[in-house]
Amino acid sequence: MESGPAIFAGAAFTLFGGALLLWTTVRTLHGEPVAHGVAPRAAVALTSVFGAAFLVLGVWCFGRL
């Protein structure tokens, strides 16, 4: 019974983390700002950390199956 929510949460976290990392990479490679009003290095660092954290959380959820 608990596998359904774990699969959903794992998929949501993994997709969001991967999309955030992909978006950050594309914006950085094109020289566009990642977040308006924030220093470029800080924005790239924070979004990368949170994207990786969401990916790890999603993998952890899948590991709990």
Model confidence, pTM: 0.87
- Tens digit of pLDDT for each residue in 8-48? 999 999 999 999 999 999 999 999 999 999 999 999 999 99
Angle formed by the axes of helices 40-63 and 3-29, to 10°? 160
Q: 53 pLDDT band (50/70/90 cuts)?
A: very high
pLDDT for residue 1: 58
Centre a 10 Å sphere on the Cβ of residue 61 and count the other Cβ atoms it contains: 19
Q: 65 pLDDT band (50/70/90 cuts)?
A: confident
Closest listed residue to residue 53, CA positions, set 14, 25, 24: 14
pLDDT for residue 42: 95
10 CB contacts (<8 Å, ≥6 apart)?
58, 59, 60, 61, 62
